[in-house]
Structures are given as structure tokens and as C-alpha cells.
């Protein structure tokens, strides 16, 4: 019978490898991060990095964004996926928050804003150094975590809950992002670099492959 994996221990080398590595969104402050996280849902970070600079030139802070109307925003984000809803969310969000300094940094505060779910809130909290209240579960984590064996299924909320149960709370903030970076760099959807993977000694998928 296989001995159960002690994930709280086994994720430590992975966390060490990616600890503090900035998120792929090129933001300069919390306001920019919040806006870019909203825009990046169902779109690529790379695309949002290209779209964002002219947007932030036109709307440098929350106060400026709160004065924007649909037409003004469409000019900058019409190439972003689901831009109609995202425009609405950004307008509503900016009018509610009004100033950069009062952007909420708790799970409850962030998820009460339009366009911000748990994944987005976890990203913002990790990037701002706020104490984690959950685990980042993006598309990479949804793909990689079940293959590693640290979680099962495809539901991000269930995957998040499963990982939270087996990893020390003090490591929550970095675990999801570390798995995401592993998925982006090593554990690619095609031709994953198993031999280079820091998790190959515990990875359930790899164990099946080498049987």
C-alpha cells in the first residue's frame, strides 16, 4: 500500500523555487494590479500587458477611472475578451472604491467587488503581501494539481479547498502561484519536462508514466 504524500512537506522545494516571483501581469501598483486582474479573466496575461499601458496613461488612478464612461473605456479595452462585462465591472468597481488608498485587501472586501472572484482576490493578496485567506487556483493549477495528486477534479473552488486542507496555512499565499509557475514553465499541457520537474518524486501522473 502506498504511503500517503505529506504535501505540506513536499511543496516546500516548489515554494522555495518560486517564492516572491512576481505575477506575469506587469503592474506598478495595487490599482493597476486590480484592473489588470479583472481584465485578464479568460484572456492571457501577455495580452493584458500589451493593452494596459495606454489604459493607465488615460486613467492613472481609481479617481480617474471612476469618471470614465463606456465609450471612453471601449477605446482601450475593446480587444479584451468579454470587454462588455469587464467595462461594466470596472466602472462599477471604480465608482464604489473611488480612491487607490481604500482598495480592500481582504477576501471579503475584494470578492464583494464586481469582476473579482476568489482566484483574483488570492492573486491580489499574494502580490500585495497580504496574509493569505486561500490558495490561487488559476487554469494552470486546475490542470496541474490533479496530475500531481494534491487535488482531484476540475472545480477551482473544490481544488482550492483540497489544497488548503493539506498545506500549512503559512504557505497558502505561495503554494498556488508556485504550482501555476510550474504549469507555465515545466508542466506544460504538451511535452511536459518531467525530468526537470522538482515534483517528479511525488507526482502521481509521472509515477504512472514510469511504471
Quick: pLDDT tens for 4-42.
899 999 999 999 999 999 999 999 999 999 999 999 999
Grid cell 522555495 in the structure block, residue: 16
Backbone φ/ψ region at 135: left (φ over 0), alpha (ψ -120 to 50), beta: beta
In the chain, ranges of CATH 1.10.340.30 domains: 30-127
Q: Residue 141 CA to chain centroid, in angstroms? A: 9
Predicted confidence at residue 3, as pLDDT, reads 75
Predicted confidence at residue 29, as pLDDT, reads 98
Predicted confidence at residue 211, as pLDDT, reads 76
Query: b vs e for 73-105, b when ≥16 Cβ sit within 10 Å of the residue's Cβ?
Result: beebbeebeebeebbebbbebbeebeebeebbe
In the chain, ranges of CATH 1.10.1670.10 domains: 7-20+134-209
Cα-flanking dihedrals φ and ψ of residue 155, to 5°?
-85, 115
Mean of per-residue pLDDT scores for the chain: 96
Q: What is the pLDDT of residues 147-197, one digit of tens each?
A: 999 999 999 999 999 999 999 999 999 999 999 999 999 999 999 999 999
Q: What percent of the chain has pLDDT over 90?
A: 94
Tell me if 55 sits within 8 A of 35, measured CB to CB: yes
* Per-residue pLDDT band at 127 (split at 50, 70, 90): very high
CA nearest neighbour of 167 among 21, 12, 20: 12
Tell me if 178 sits within 8 A of 11, measured CB to CB: yes
Cα dihedral value 169, 140, 191, 80, nearest 10 = -150
Query: b vs e for 8-45, b when ≥16 Cβ sit within 10 Å of the residue's Cβ?
Result: eebbbebbeebeeeebebbbeebbbbbbbbbbbbebeb
pTM for this model (two decimals): 0.94
Grid cell 508514466 in the structure block, residue: 209
pLDDT surpassing 70 at residue 99: yes
CATH superfamily of 30-127: Hypothetical protein; domain 2 (1.10.340.30)
Predicted confidence at residue 210, as pLDDT, reads 84
> Which architecture, in CATH terms, is 7-20+134-209?
Orthogonal Bundle (1.10)
CB-CB neighbours of 189 under 10 Å: 10
Amino acid at each position: 500500500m502506498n504511503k500517503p504524500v505529506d504535501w505540506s512537506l513536499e511543496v516546500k522545494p516548489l515554494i522555495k523555487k518560486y517564492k516572491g516571483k512576481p505575477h506575469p501581469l506587469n503592474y506598478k501598483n495595487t490599482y493597476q494590479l486590480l484592473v489588470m486582474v479583472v481584465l485578464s479573466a479568460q484572456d492571457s496575461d501577455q495580452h493584458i500587458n500589451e493593452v494596459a499601458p495606454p489604459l493607465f496613461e488615460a486613467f492613472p488612478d481609481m479617481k480617474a477611472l471612476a469618471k470614465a464612461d463606456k465609450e471612453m473605456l471601449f477605446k482601450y479595452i475593446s480587444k479584451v475578451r468579454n470587454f462588455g462585462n469587464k467595462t461594466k465591472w470596472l466602472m462599477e468597481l471604480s465608482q464604489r472604491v473611488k480612491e487607490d488608498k481604500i482598495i480592500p485587501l481582504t477576501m471579503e472586501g475584494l470578492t464583494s467587488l464586481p469582476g473579482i472572484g476568489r482566484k483574483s482576490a488570492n492573486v491580489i493578496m499574494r502580490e500585495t503581501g497580504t496574509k493569505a485567506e486561500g490558495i490561487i487556483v488559476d487554469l494552470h493549477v486546475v490542470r496541474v494539481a490533479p496530475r500531481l495528486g494534491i487535488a482531484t477534479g476540475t472545480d477551482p473552488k473544490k481544488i482550492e479547498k483540497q489544497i488548503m486542507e493539506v498545506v500549512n496555512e503559512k504557505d497558502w499565499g505561495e503554494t498556488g502561484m508556485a504550482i501555476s509557475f510550474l504549469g507555465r514553465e515545466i508542466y506544460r499541457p504538451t511535452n511536459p519536462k518531467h525530468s526537470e520537474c522538482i515534483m517528479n518524486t511525488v507526482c502521481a501522473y509521472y509515477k504512472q508514466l514510469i511504471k
